[in-house]
Structure 1
Amino acid sequence: MAFWILFCASVVAVSVVPGPSTLIAFTHGARFGWCKALATAAGNAFASLLQASAASAGLGLLLTESASVLLATKYLGAAYLVYLGVRMWRSKADEIEAGAGTTAAPRVSGRLFRDGFLVAVSNPKAILFFTALFPQFLGTPGSESGRMVLMTVSVGVIAFMVAAVYAGLGARIRAMSVTQTAMRRLQRATGGLFVFAGIGLAASRA
């Protein structure tokens, strides 16, 4: 199982680097608390599972070989990041207080799951990364399908755990009972970072 340990270490090393997926988990943890932000982590994990599965199915090669498909995917992802950034910039810091009741909990969790999923799935570079990474851990006769399943599932688990950790860090800020003004500034800063990330993704050559 040495290959699996090395594979997981490689995925963790990339996943822990701050980016849109970790940033949305952190922000949701700060706004909604760790338990609710686990829905964000679940959305991120589901998107990562789909991306890893797409890479194993050959979609990564299609993106590499088809410039038009890659551009379309990239621009759609960039547009969503900008939209999310603007939405977070305009949202009120006390929105969660209005939805804190038990009847609103499923609706809030669904929105957090959706945001976590869409932020993660909006980055086509993840599929390209998995397309390049997976072959490095294949090649043993008779075991490739088993390894592929193990690696794909591991990607989802790692994505969930990393997002959950970032959500926990955000929840620490919530536990400090910061003022609404401070929370508003955090939301605006996060929204600005998402807009910047969307513009950066659209402008990138890869």
Structure 2
Amino acid sequence: MSFSVWVALLAASVVISFTPGAGAVNTMGNALKVGLRRSIWGILGQQAALVVHIVVVAAGLGVLVANSPVAFDAIRYAGAAYLVYLGIRQFLAKPVVTAPVASAPVASAPVASTGEADASGGAELVRTGAETAAGTGASVAASAPAGAATVAAPARAASGFSTESSWSLFRRGLLVNLSNPKAIVFFLAFLPQFIRPDAPLLPQYLIVGATVIAVDIAVMWGFFALAARSFRRATTSARGQTIVNRVFGSLFLIVGVALAAIH
């Protein structure tokens, strides 16, 4: 692949990635739900679906899907139904607002009266205090990992973010992109523009796939996920979370209905 062809591919990939769709909606919703850093798992799931689409087209199966109305409609309606399901679930999601964690009360040791202390009592107090300090220090050192784990467990929830697993985010991103047969048809028309049939095909498909995926990750994480942070302040209250859930739920519904209705 020549450099000029690769530059054209890069420019086309940027334009395509910036086009709003189910992937962008999913990325922004994840960034609000689990935070910017963990939203990458949903983005990686979407890229895994792109790999599948590219492999399908490269293997020639894309032609079969595009030319088979039954197969195309089956995938299209299944994808639309899944997006509608995601939209309804997010639209009806209950807000999760965590209360601040109260600090544990610290018990103060009783202070002995100066008048009641004598020399022998003072010596005994010093000896006992030294033994107690040594024992307490060992006890704290032994229990430190457990305490750290206890504090780390609710840390994510206390930040206001969901504790949804990375696998769940990845799986949803995969299904959101995988259930769109129009992506196969699009790649069927898009990829040949940058492939020379008289040159080895595998290196060309690898370059095209790597470019498309790298650009999409950069746009999804560096633009759409970051853009969602501007809505983060609205999600600190139950009312704000409800509004955001309904907005993104409605967007999923719109994309799902459009996928089913537009031929």
How big is the shift at 1:111? 1.4
Does 1:113 find its partner at 2:170? yes
Partner of 1:3: 5
Structure 1 residue 67 displacement after superposition: 0.6
Task: Report the counterpart of residue 161 of structure 1 in structure 2.
Answer: 218
Question: What is the DSSP-based 3-state SS (H/G/I as helix, E as strand, rest coil) of the residue aligned with 1:139?
Answer: coil
Distance in 2 between the 1:67 and 1:8 partners? 32
Correspondence 1:61-76 to 2 at 5 A: 61-76=63-78
1:195: how far off? Answer: 1.3
Answering whether residue 32 of structure 2 is matched by residue 46 of structure 1, we say no
Pair 1:174 & 2:232 matched: yes
Q: Does the aligned pair in 2 maintain the 1:74–1:123 contact within 8 Å? A: yes
SS in 2 for 1:43: helix
Unaligned 5+ runs, structure 2: 100-153
Q: Aligned pair in 2 of structure 1 residues 93, 64: CA closer, same or farther (>3 Å)?
A: same
Q: Is the 8 A contact 1:30 1:172 kept in 2?
A: no
Q: For 1:64-94, what per-residue CA distance to the aligned partner results, in whole angstroms no more than 9, with x for missing partners?
A: 2111000001011001001100111111231
2:91–2:250 Cα contact (<8 Å) kept? yes
Q: Counterpart amino acid of 1:190?
A: F
1:118 deviates by 1.1
Counterpart in 1 of 2:120?
none
Tell me the amino acid that sits aligned with residue 156 of structure 1.
I
- Which has a greater percent of helix? 1
Q: Secondary structure, in 3 states, of the residue corresponding to 1:91? A: coil
Would the alpha carbon gap of residues 184 and 99 (structure 1) be closer, same or farther in structure 2, given more than 3 Å must change?
Answer: farther
Task: Give 1:178 deviation, angstroms.
Answer: 4.1
2:202 partner amino acid:
S
The whole-number CA distance in structure 1 between the counterparts of 2:97 and 2:52 is: 31
TM-score by length of 1: 0.88
Higher-Rg structure is: 2
Deviations 1:137-161 (A, max 9, x none): 1226333321111101222222222
Q: In structure 1, what is the Cα distance between the partners aligned to 2:248 and 2:204? A: 38
Q: Separation in 1 of the partners of 2:54 and 2:97?
A: 34
Q: Which moved more, 1:18-27 or 1:52-61?
A: 52-61
Identity between Structure 1 and Structure 2 (%): 29
The DSSP-based 3-state class of the residue aligned with 2:95 is coil
Give the distance between the partners of 2:235 and 2:92, measured in 1 at CA.
22
SS in 2 for 1:201: helix
Structure 1 stretches of 4+ with a deviation exceeding 6 A read 95-99
- Count, aligned residues: 204
Distance 1:186 1:145 in 2: 44
Could you tell me how far apart the structure 2 residues matched to 1:194 and 1:107 are? 19
State the alpha-carbon separation in 2 of the partners of residues 181 and 25 from structure 1.
22
Q: 2:92 aligns with which of 69, 82, 90?
A: 90
Are residues 175 and 34 of structure 1, via their aligned partners in 2, closer, same or farther at CA, if it must alter by over 3 Å?
Answer: farther
Q: Specify which of 136, 143, 156 is matched with residue 100 of structure 1.
A: 156
RMSD of the TM alignment (CA)? 2.5
Contact 2:23 2:46 in 1 (8 A): yes
- Relative to the length of structure 2, the TM-score reads 0.70
The structure-2 alpha-carbon separation of the partners of 1:170 and 1:179, relative to structure 1 and needing over 3 Å to count, comes to same
User: Are residue 196 (structure 1) and residue 254 (structure 2) matched?
Assistant: yes
